[in-house]
A and B are shown apart, each in its own frame.
Chain A
């Protein structure tokens, strides 16, 4: 694989960041309903300073996931986050496409 591919490969980036001594969280889309922008299995990787690569929604909810990642990195306890259209959920951010997604957020340990 070339470096161009790695730039876009969150799992490779997660490993690289961990090797560099950064704290790392990995978010994965585990379930979608309706017209979700990114398919199940998509990844977003976040470090302890809020740097990120990849996407779970094509830009709609990344900000909220990144904020939650700080907690997960701190505590080490995984979380499941759910996002839907903005007004119908407890979350302040939502998906403009009207779909819903569930995201599994975990720390990369070791």
Chain B
């Protein structure tokens, strides 16, 4: 692979743009295609298939043997609340291959000192999310306990089809939350998609352990997700 092709591929991946690298195994030449770009008609179908399925594959087109590698954007975790659990989650998420950002309007919590090297937005979710909508590649973890901050992004995540929507809080807190959402007109089926209490039941006690439980639950949700956003669960 030549360095220009590698750089182009890495730029696309950093920008969360789906890309495909096609290597002609006879010549060793690799070309990169970004989702939405015009394709060479000869490879059109094979590349489209790879983008749709998310699966890298060997393919014979004409007389050429091609390896088609596909890079879909890494799933993103959006955390509501710059709390202690979020600090641990921010360190764990990149290791498991997730992009992560944190939203919290409380500037005492959302400080650069507490969240070094993390994308941190000190603003209300109502003001942030319209400019960067939650999508099917996104997991939402609502961690503030505060309905004024958590409720809006939870609704936005359900509407946006996020593959995971989790909310911190006791069963009692969650019962009150479900009632508020019901009164706000959210369908019972959608409310049922919220994971609460958040995280796999591993007996987690410390903030770091709870972060592990949340991340594990997010991985399970991603790998067992319904088809349709870019590939089968595997």
Interface, chain A (partner B; CB < 8 A): 1-5, 8, 11-12, 14-15, 18, 26, 28, 30-31, 39-41, 77-78, 80, 104, 106, 108-110
Nearest chain A residue, comparing its CB with the CB of B234: A39
A15 with B14: CB separation less than 8 A: no
Q: Name the 3 nearest CB pairs between A and B, nearest first.
A: A110-B3, A41-B56, A5-B94
Quick check: is B222 within 8 A (CB to CB) of the other chain? Answer: no
Q: How far is the CB of B46 from chain A (nearest CB, A)?
A: 14
Specify which chain B residues have a CB less than 8 angstroms from the CB of A30 in the assembled complex.
25, 56, 58, 67
The contact size tier of chain B is: 20 to 34
Q: Any chain A CB within 8 A of the CB of B2?
A: yes
Q: Does chain A have a CB within 8 A of B203?
A: no
Which B residues, 42 to 80, have Cβ-Cβ distances below 8 Å to chain A? 55-58, 67, 69-70
B206 at the interface (CB under 8 A from A): no
Shortest distance from the beta carbon of A27 to any chain B beta carbon, whole Å:
11
Main secondary structure of the interface of B (DSSP, over half): mixed
Say whether B56 contacts A109, CB under 8 Å: no
**A11:B9 contact, CB within 8 angstroms:** yes
A1-B99, A4-B91, A109-B1 known; A14 vs B67 contact (CB < 8 Å): no
Known: A4-B94, A11-B10. 16 other contacts (CB 8 A): A5-B94, A8-B97, A11-B13, A12-B10, A14-B6, A28-B23, A28-B69, A30-B67, A41-B56, A77-B28, A104-B23, A104-B67, A108-B3, A109-B1, A109-B2, A110-B4
A78 to chain B, nearest CB (A): 4
Q: Which of B2-20 contact A (CB under 8 A)?
A: 2-4, 6-7, 9-10, 13-14
The answer to whether B94 and A2 have CB atoms under 8 Å apart is yes
Task: Identify the interface centre among A14, A77, A80: most chain B CB within 10 Å of its CB.
Answer: A14
- Looking across the interface, which residue of chain B has its beta carbon closest to that of A109? B2
Chain B residues, CB < 8 A from A28: 23, 67, 69
Pick from A3, A15, A26, A41 the residue with the most CB of B within 10 Å.
A41
Does B228 count as interface, using CB distance less than 8 angstroms?
Answer: no
Residue pairs across A and B with Cβ atoms less than 8 A apart, 25 shown, are A1-B14, A1-B94, A4-B91, A4-B94, A11-B6, A11-B10, A12-B10, A15-B3, A15-B6, A15-B10, A18-B6, A26-B6, A28-B69, A30-B58, A30-B67, A39-B56, A41-B69, A41-B70, A77-B28, A78-B25, A104-B23, A104-B25, A108-B2, A109-B3, A110-B4
